[in-house]
């Protein structure tokens, strides 16, 4: 599936943007008896998590049957302010009746290579499917440079085709990150990319014009669905072909 073939949803209002994100999550997890989801970090997912934890949404999900993973993580301990796990724990998991044994965090406090290998083993033990598991729901965002998860431009992880999880050195951040690889992401049943804000509009315009130079353009489900959920500001520079095929809510 190419970016052009993906479903595009543009929300005119912030409330509609997050309501649709909640619906996409709930629909995905309710399709499976043992749903597996991969969460992401950032301010936009945090708002989504807060809404999922609210009574109206939380009542729709059998949370004790959900397995939680993370698409990427900073190399910090779980109590660190930059930890993606900590954000999800505080905004979502701590407020729900989740099964702690089904919450699988990336151990960012370990050596990055060791942490990546360990997480792949954890996923392999928890999920069926070889050579690639099929996560029911993968939540992604997009940076101003077109990165997603911790798959940054010019980094080695972009070319990783055999590992599920890898340690990725990001020189411009002078840091290493843990991240899902593209093959793992692309085997998911549903991938939702949430993008908000005018700062992302230019890159999105290039992506939907077929730029072919941004990491996120490699998100291409093999046998699943790809949904771009955009707010009006982020969608401001979409080419006419993308606008005409989008669903506006």
Would you list the domain boundaries of the chain? 3-248
Q: What does the pLDDT profile of the chain (249 residues) look like in tens digits?
A: 456 579 999 999 999 999 999 999 999 999 999 999 999 999 999 999 999 999 999 999 999 999 999 999 999 999 999 999 999 999 999 999 999 999 999 999 999 999 999 999 999 999 987 899 999 999 999 999 999 999 999 999 999 999 999 999 999 999 999 999 999 999 999 999 999 999 999 999 999 999 899 999 999 999 999 999 999 999 999 999 999 999 999
pTM confidence score: 0.96
Q: Can you give the pLDDT at residue 130?
A: 80
pLDDT at residue 211, as a whole number? 85
Measured in whole angstroms, the distance separating CA 99 from the mean position of its chain's CA atoms is 21
Q: Chain centroid to CA 115: how far?
A: 19
Topology (CATH) of 3-248: Rossmann fold (3.40.50)
In the 8-state DSSP scheme, what is residue 104?
Answer: -
Check residue 128 and give its pLDDT.
84
Please name the residue that has the structure tokens 């002078």.
Answer: 174
The pLDDT score that the predictor gives to residue 47 is: 97
**Are 91 and 60 in contact, with CB atoms under 8 Å apart?**
no
H or E, element range at 177: strand 175-180
């Amino acid at each position: 599936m190419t970016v052009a073939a993906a479903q595009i949803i543009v929300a005119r209002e912030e409330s509609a943007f997050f309501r649709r994100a909640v619906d996409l999550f709930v629909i995905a997890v309710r399709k499976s008896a043992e749903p597996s989801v991969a969460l992401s970090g950032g301010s936009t997912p945090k708002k989504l998590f807060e809404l999922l934890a609210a009574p109206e949404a939380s009542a729709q999900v059998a949370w004790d049957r959900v397995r939680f993973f993370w698409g990427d993580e900073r190399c910090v301990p779980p109590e660190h302010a930059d930890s993606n796990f900590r954000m999800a724990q505080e905004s979502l998991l701590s407020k729900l009746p989740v099964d702690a044994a089904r919450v699988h965090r990336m151990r960012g406090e370990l050596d990055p290579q060791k942490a990546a290998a360990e997480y792949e083993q954890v996923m392999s033990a928890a999920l069926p499917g070889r050579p690639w598991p099929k996560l029911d729901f993968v939540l992604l965002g997009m940076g101003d440079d077109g990165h997603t998860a911790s798959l940054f431009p010019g980094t080695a992880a972009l070319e990783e085709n055999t590992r599920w999880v890898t340690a990725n050195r990001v020189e411009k951040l002078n840091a290493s990150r843990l991240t899902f690889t593209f093959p793992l992401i692309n085997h998911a049943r549903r991938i939702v990319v949430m993008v908000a804000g005018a700062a992302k509009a230019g890159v999105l315009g290039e992506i939907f014009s077929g730029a072919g130079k941004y990491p996120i353009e490699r998100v291409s489900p093999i046998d699943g669905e790809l949904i771009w959920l955009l707010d009006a500001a982020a969608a401001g520079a979409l080419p006419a072909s993308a606008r005409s095929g989008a669903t506006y809510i």
